[in-house]
Amino acid sequence: MSQTPLDAVRGVANACQVLPSIVTGGQPTAEQLTALAQAGGGIVLDIRDPMEPRPFDEPAHIRGLGMEYVNVPVSSGTADDAALERILGVLRSAGSRQLFFHCGSGNRVGGAMIPYLMLDQGMNEEEAVEQAMRIGLRSPEYLQWGLDYAKRRTAS
């Protein structure tokens, strides 16, 4: 492999290597997804609503490249436990497969990663929020979404 999955998506808004098998960012181009597949990408987790405008048919393109495409729509007002549980299920079942997790800018992805970082990766709240900001989190709504979920699951 000549390039890493992170190299493949360079130029994507807020492209970030969060964990060895997870790269995050905003909306990729068809060319970036092709490069991702060539760099060993296995799964694309897209949390944009299917009605958000896209420059190409992302699901068909990804499947045509031999990667798995998963969509869990998250938007203001739909950020709930059910959405987080579906997202966490994809992250947890990915195993060692390389996963690219994106929304439009990285904002929603940052919020959704907080519980994964805290519950599955053992980070404390401060570390998880710092990583979420690196990923692209800017919205207080999505920050609260991720934190509330994680706190409710760590409370005894």
Tell me, letter by letter, the H, E, C secondary structure of the chain. CCCCHHHHCCCCCCCEEEECCEEEECCCCHHHHHHHHHCCEEEEEECCCCCCCCCCCHHHHHHHCCCEEEECCCCCCCCCHHHHHHHHHHHHHCCCCEEEEECCCCHHHHHHHHHHHHHHCCCCHHHHHHHHHHHCCCCHHHHHHHHHHHHHHHCC
CA–CA gap between residue 35 and residue 128 (Å, rounded): 29
| 34 alpha carbon, distance to own chain's centre | 18
Specify the pLDDT at position 78.
87
Q: Which residues contact 73 (CB under 8 A, 6 or more apart)?
A: 47, 48, 49, 50, 83
Specify the pLDDT at position 134.
97
Specify the pLDDT at position 1.
44
Contact between residue 114 and residue 129 where contact means Cβ atoms under 8 Å apart: yes
Specify the pLDDT at position 156.
54
- Give me the residue spans of the domains in the chain: 5-154
Specify the pLDDT at position 110.
98
In CATH, which of 3.10.580.10, 3.40.605.10, 3.90.25.10, 3.90.190.10 is domain 5-154? 3.90.190.10
**Would you write out the chain's pLDDT as a tens digit for each of its 156 residues?**
469 999 999 999 999 999 999 999 999 999 999 999 999 999 999 999 989 988 899 999 999 999 999 999 999 888 999 999 999 999 999 999 999 999 999 999 999 999 999 999 999 999 999 999 999 999 999 999 999 999 999 875
